[in-house]
């Protein structure tokens, strides 16, 4: 089945072209939360009524060993961080797909041996 090899190789090439710019990738996920200032009389933080201030944005990164690092993200960097997180997720997805394709290719090539 030479066709299958050609097909798998073409799919792999296509996946490689979908690979994001690796120099931008960031791990983690972006969270938002409201914060309370605890200033007396603040109408945003009024007990039971106010929603607090914000939202503020936080980059949450899992460091392993149940350790999570939370890094505040300034508003003007939020979009960039979001894109970098997407690039990382996309990279991981494509890596898995290419690895899977290569596994198929390996099996095909084994079967094709004389
Ligand atoms: Zn407040």
Q: φ, ψ for residue 37 (rounded to 5)?
A: -90, -15
C-alpha 79 to ligand 1 mean position (Å): 26
Give the integer Cα–Cα distance in Å for 95 and 113: 27
pLDDT, tens only, 50-104: 899 999 999 999 999 999 999 999 999 999 999 999 999 999 999 999 999 999 9
CA 72 / ligand 1 centre spacing (Å): 18
For residue 41, the CA-to-ligand 1 centroid distance in Å is: 8
3-state secondary structure of 62: strand
Looking at every residue in the chain, the average pLDDT score rounds to 94
Residues measured by CB to lie within 5 Å of ligand 1, the ion: 37, 42, 44-45
Question: Strand 67-73 to strand 53-64: parallel, antiparallel, or no bridges (unpaired)?
Answer: antiparallel
**Cα separation, 14 vs 97, whole angstroms:** 11
Dihedral sign for Cα 101, 105, 106, 107, please. positive
Whether 27 contacts 61, CB under 8 Å: yes
pLDDT at 1 over 60: no
Q: Please tell me the distance between residue 32's alpha carbon and the centre of ligand 1 in angstroms.
A: 17
Q: Choose the weakest-confidence range: 38-42, 47-51, 63-67.
A: 47-51
- For residue 22, the CA-to-ligand 1 centroid distance in Å is 40
pLDDT at 2 over 80: no
Distance 70 CA to ligand 1 centre (A): 22
Mean pLDDT of 11-15: 97
Residue 48's pLDDT is: 77
């Amino acid at each position: 089945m030479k066709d299958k090899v050609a097909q798998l190789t073409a799919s792999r090439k296509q996946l490689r072209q979908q690979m994001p710019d690796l120099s931008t990738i960031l791990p983690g996920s972006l969270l938002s939360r409201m914060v309370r200032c605890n200033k007396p009389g603040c109408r945003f933080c009024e007990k039971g009524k106010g929603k607090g201030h914000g939202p503020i944005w936080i980059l949450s990164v899992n460091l392993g060993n149940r350790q999570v690092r939370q890094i505040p993200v300034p508003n003007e960097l939020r979009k960039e961080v979001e894109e970098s997180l997407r690039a990382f997720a996309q990279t991981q997805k494509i890596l898995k797909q290419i690895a899977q394709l290569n596994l198929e290719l390996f099996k095909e090539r084994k079967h094709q041996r004389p």
